[in-house]
């Protein structure tokens, strides 16, 4: 299956002689809308996170400068000021972890949008719409995008016929842990 150009999915069906053409057209329209909503939401989110990242970088640099100054001139600095600077430094470290989590979320949402668009192109093509091998290829490409074991497990449960609720319950049972540096997985953090 050739990969069509990104963001080229539309709600139009070229061959209206196809059975159920209106349902296919409506499906394609909703898929195109979902992809557009995901992409615009992620762009807005990325713009906000870029601003936050820049601000936190400046705060981190200023805090490091203060801590360096305090370590050289410890007799004139009140201890509560040093403690406050150390607390700010620790809080910045926690914020960096949250930014990394957002980066992972962005990548996952980009993969979701890409997968929806691929599916839309498969549905829109009357020559591939009913070809099982083309659907299996699509599933393989989707599964190949997953970087976390939790995603692969949910994928397998959904494809085996489990409901979304069941797959989410399994996910939460096995992978819901408080956010820390590892995000509850053994996977490395991917930065784009």
Q: How far is CA 58 from CA 12, 54, 63, 64, 81, in A?
A: 48, 6, 9, 10, 19
Note the pLDDT of residue 17. Answer: 62
* Rounded-to-integer distance, Cα 37 and Cα 165, Å: 23
Quick check: 170 pLDDT over 90? no
pLDDT tens, residue by residue, 4-15: 777 777 766 655
Mean pLDDT of 149-165: 90
At residue 134, the pLDDT reads 96
Express as a percent the part of the chain with pLDDT over 90: 29
| Domain boundaries of the chain, sorted by first residue | 21-113
138 in Cβ contact with 1 (< 8 Å): yes
Instruction: Among 62-71, 72-81, 119-128, 182-191, name the one with the lowest average pLDDT.
Output: 182-191
Q: Alpha-carbon torsion 93, 94, 97, 99, what sign?
A: negative
* Nearest to 36, CA basis, from 62, 55, 8, 57: 8
Taking Cα atoms as reference points, which of 7, 1, 36, 40 lies closest to residue 123? Answer: 1
Under the banding of pLDDT at 50, 70 and 90, the label for residue 188 is very low
């Amino acid at each position: 299956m050739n990969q069509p150009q990104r963001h080229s999915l539309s709600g139009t069906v070229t061959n209206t002689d196809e059975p159920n053409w209106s349902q296919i057209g409506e499906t394609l329209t909703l898929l195109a809308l979902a992809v557009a909503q995901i992409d615009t939401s992620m762009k807005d989110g990325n713009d906000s996170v870029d601003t936050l990242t820049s601000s936190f970088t400046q705060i981190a640099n200023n805090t490091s400068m203060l801590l360096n100054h305090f370590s050289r001139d410890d007799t004139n600095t009140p201890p509560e000021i040093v403690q406050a600077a150390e607390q700010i430094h620790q809080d910045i470290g926690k914020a960096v972890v949250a930014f990394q989590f957002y980066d992972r979320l962005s990548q996952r949402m980009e993969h979701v949008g890409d997968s929806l668009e691929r599916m839309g192109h498969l549905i829109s093509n009357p020559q591939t719409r009913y070809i099982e091998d083309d659907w299996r290829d699509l599933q393989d490409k989707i599964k190949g995008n997953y970087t976390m074991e939790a995603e692969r497990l949910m994928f397998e449960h959904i494809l085996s016929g489990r409901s979304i609720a069941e797959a989410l319950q399994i996910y939460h049972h096995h992978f819901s842990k408080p956010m820390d540096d590892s995000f509850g997985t053994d996977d490395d953090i991917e930065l784009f």
